A = this chain, B = another copy of it.
Amino acid sequence: MTETKSSRAFASDNWAGVHPDVLQAIADANIGHAASYGNDEWSGRAVEKVRELVGADCDVFFLFSGTAANVLGLQSIVRPYQSVICAETAHIYTSECGAPEKHTGSKLIPLPSPNGKIQTADIEAQLGYTGNEHHAQPRAVSITQSTEYGTVYSLTEIRKIADVAHKNGMSLHMDGARIFNAAVSLDCTLAATTREAGVDVLSFGGTKNGLIAGEAVVFFDRALAKDFEFRRMQGMQLSSKMRFIAAQFIALLSNDLWKQNAAHANRMAAMLGKGLASVPGVKLTQSVDSNSVFATLPASLIPKLQKEFAFHVWSKPKNEIRLVTSFDTEESDVSRFVELAAKT
């Protein structure tokens, strides 16, 4: 990525800042000393807030980074001689600089995923060498919800994948960097699209929905959480002043802030998608299910749009761009972008 503009735009939801309520929560937590490393009252309350939304029967650990949530969550499941099945478009496969392989020592097995989703038949096709010592043994399936293409697995799709995973001795990991956008898209609870659909380990992402930096790993299969406090510490993800991560999550998960933020972002993406679809020469390439829009457009249009808006050119050969909306996208941003595209 070579984006250098810093105006409010469509580069990524991590170009957005922090929601004012979240910032206020940090300030409110800044009262004297508090026990470090999560032994403070905010951390306990934040865990309860997560449980209110995904169900009480789980273990919750906060950390700094979404990549770390994925990597350490997977590390809790797989040994180095086991493998992780994922989409060839998965963030863990394409965009974490090999962190999963480095830290778990395991192989990742990419499956075709033209729309960001994997299929159960492709998972099953990887299971031919069970018990054969020459082949890394599939032990986890990882899916992203919402996907890197902004599409959203239906509850039934997740359940089918979970069933195949469980039937074959594998656990289901979900990269939920944008789990809030997915839940809003599905109009379901966070529990419905995670635990109730069969997810065992969840990367629960706060940063892309209005936090400064705050992620969690949620274990619905609590046996896998054993010793996770050690994995987190050795994984360099234990915040000493953890109350400030916890306070952010408390704010996000209170008063439906998570839902308002995600719903707004999704609405802006829908508006953007609709607007672009009506522009001659522009073609949406993925279903706009959550907060991103993928589209091909005339090559000459890209630099013109980039003069005013930062965004990511997904595929140069195809002239395909990715536009991501966030909690602070404004309708005027959307209409201006569409207007520019149409005018040119």
| Residues of chain A having any CB pair with chain B under 8 Å | 1, 3-9, 11-12, 14-18, 20, 23, 26-27, 29-37, 39-41, 64-68, 71, 79-83, 94-99, 101-103, 105-108, 110, 128, 132-137, 207-208, 212-213, 227, 229-241, 244, 310, 316, 328
Which residues of the partner chain B approach A229 to less than 8 Å between Cβ atoms? 133
- How many angstroms between the C-alpha atoms of A68 and B68 in the bound complex? 12
Which residues of the partner chain B approach A133 to less than 8 Å between Cβ atoms? 37, 97, 229-230, 232-233, 238
- How many angstroms between the C-alpha atoms of A12 and B99 in the bound complex? 32
| Most B Cβ at <10 Å: residue of A66, A83, A234 | A234
- Nearest B residue to A226, CB-CB: B79
20 contacts between A and B (CB under 8 A): A1-B134, A7-B33, A11-B33, A11-B35, A12-B240, A18-B26, A35-B310, A64-B64, A65-B237, A65-B239, A81-B230, A97-B133, A99-B234, A99-B236, A101-B101, A101-B107, A102-B105, A102-B106, A207-B241, A235-B236
- How many angstroms between the C-alpha atoms of A178 and B82 in the bound complex? 28
Name the contact of A234 in the complex, choosing from B11, B17, B102, B128 (C-beta under 8 A): B102
- Nearest B residue to A244, CB-CB: B212
A239 in contact with B227 given A102-B81, A234-B96, A234-B98 (CB within 8 Å): no
Which residues of the partner chain B approach A102 to less than 8 Å between Cβ atoms? 80-81, 105-106, 234
